[in-house]
Amino acid sequence: MLETKPDITEVAIPGPEGSSVVARETAALTTGTKTAPIVVKRAKGLIVEDVDGNLFLDFTSGMITATGHSHPKVVAAIAEQAEKWLFINSPDFYSPLQAEVAEKIIKLVPGSKAKKVFLCNSGTEANEAAIKAARWNKPTRKRLLAFIGAFHGRTMGALSLTASKLAHRARYTPNMPDVHHLPYATCYRCPYKMTYPSCDIWCARILEELYFKQFIPPDEVAAIFVEPIQGEGGYIVPPPEFIEIIRDIAERHGIAYVDDEVQAGIGKTGKMLAIEHFGVSANATPLAKALGSGVAVGALVVDADLDFGAQGAHSNTFGGNGVALAAAKATLDVIEDEGLVECAAVQGDYFSSKLRELQERFPAIGDVRGKGLMIGVDFVSDRASRTPDPAYRDRVLAGCFRHGLMVLPCGFSALRFTPALVVEREQIDRALDILERAIREA
């Protein structure tokens, strides 16, 4: 059993054991997105132990392990299901478990319209399904809209919507044609150099006032993809009017509104889905990451009239496999039974207020933003100009790892904090201590 309140002081990573694993992985795996040479032996709750015996407080994986690492009820449900069946070709055959999980997932999504769900294995696959559902059901509409700063996945369709880093797209042209991007409501660094609210939400209104008048016939647009809070792009929370206006424009022009909840969904913002903060509903909702507590589960919930409705128009192999279904069911049960959405709201408020206190003391912290336990801290070289300082951010990041706190970067110069929803107050205090120490050293 791992200690729940480790006394983390100074961690040398990678240690001797870890170094050899890093070398083997580097030789064997294609290049991915490694952030730090932490070599994991086991993980429980929010604590990760590496192969050299170092303990880390994990403030990254709540994005995926919402219920904490290896929650006993999730582990038990997976083990029990593995004994019954692992794979029955769920897209081809039927099971009570698949029916139950589908019904549960549908219930997560707000809105009065009847819904259906496509089960898959990842966020990018859920977004691919959304592209296909929109195009299949709106055959005269081929265009798609998305936002600068967005991340919707890395497969070629979803990648055509993604626009958060050059590294994601470089060398992959041609992308899917007829995808148009608009600047997102990035108020902290407004792309139009305007100020909220005197801007009158120009970043949303521009869609109808310029785009639809000058180069995008709205009746050719099948769908608009929107992250309710931009994740990879920097944990950007748009003002509520932005989402309301975009939603309204989509509705009036018969455009499917796709609410990508892959990162922001499943409780971490203090609501089950982040769109609930904005009081609107979507036509299609890609889900993944936290839905399976670490097991690969993706889902696309669509209005019933966006169902493919024809055998073979869309399907897959592993969607609805036994382990994924058991993990999703147990995850949603644990979140409900333990009141974890409410925990995220309460702990998130506490964490944000403490981060704002840090911001008062350290001018390098330009912005603290987010909702619930989805919090971004943006580092700047100058508060007045809000100039991003990625080098400083990277030094703080390295300091956090050195002192045993796992965090991830996002956007130009931000760190993202997404502890599991089971995070304790003391663990937040410990993370704050480590962050402060890393900032002092940076």
Ligand X SMILES: Cc1ncc(COP(=O)(O)O)c(C=O)c1O
In the complex, the smallest distance separating the C-beta of residue 321 from ligand X, rounded to whole angstroms, is: 16
Query: Does 263 participate in binding ligand X (rule CB under 6 A)?
Result: yes
Q: In what order do the strands lie in the sheet with 55-58?
A: 40-44, 47-50, 55-58, 405-406
**Looking at 259, 260, 367, 389, which residue binds ligand X (CB under 6 A)?**
260
CA angle 226, 388, 354 (to 5 degrees): 80
C-alpha neighbours within 13 Å on the C-beta side of residue 325? 28
Give the position of tokens 């959405």.
Answer: 341
Q: Which helix (H) or strand (E) holds 151?
A: none
**Looking at 6, 68, 149, 153, which residue binds ligand X (CB under 6 A)?**
153
Q: Which helix (H) or strand (E) holds 41?
A: strand 40-44
Query: Does 262 participate in binding ligand X (rule CB under 6 A)?
Result: yes
Query: Does 137 participate in binding ligand X (rule CB under 6 A)?
Result: no
**Looking at 62, 68, 123, 157, which residue binds ligand X (CB under 6 A)?**
123
Length of the chain: 442
Going along 213-294, which residue ranges are E strands? 221-226, 256-259, 284-287
Q: Which residues contact 428 (CB under 8 A, 6 or more apart)?
A: 347, 350, 351, 354, 419
In the complex, the smallest distance separating the C-beta of residue 175 from ligand X, rounded to whole angstroms, is: 16
**Looking at 54, 60, 122, 347, which residue binds ligand X (CB under 6 A)?**
122
**Looking at 54, 60, 90, 127, which residue binds ligand X (CB under 6 A)?**
127
Q: Which residues contact 40 (CB under 8 A, 6 or more apart)?
A: 48, 49, 50, 51
| Dihedrals phi, psi of 348, to nearest 5 degrees | -65, -40
N- to C-terminal Cα separation, the chain? 34
Rounded Cα distance, 165 and 407, in Å? 19
Question: What are 368's strand-pairing partners?
Answer: 377
Query: Does 151 participate in binding ligand X (rule CB under 6 A)?
Result: yes
Q: Which residues from 196-235 bind ligand X, rule CB under 6 A?
A: 227, 231-232
Task: Give the nearer residue to ligand X in terms of CB position, either 8 or 145.
Answer: 145
Q: Which stretch binds ligand X (CB under 6 A): 40-48, 51-59, 256-264, 342-350?
A: 256-264
Task: Give the nearer residue to ligand X in terms of CB position, either 199 or 318.
Answer: 318
Q: Which stretch binds ligand X (CB under 6 A): 1-9, 21-29, 198-206, 259-267?
A: 259-267
In the complex, the smallest distance separating the C-beta of residue 71 from ligand X, rounded to whole angstroms, is: 20
Q: Which residue has its beta carbon closest to ligand X?
A: 123
Q: Which residues from 277-296 bind ligand X, rule CB under 6 A?
A: 288
In the complex, the smallest distance separating the C-beta of residue 387 from ligand X, rounded to whole angstroms, is: 26
Residues that bind ligand X (CB under 6 A): 122-124, 127, 151-153, 227, 231-232, 260, 262-263, 288
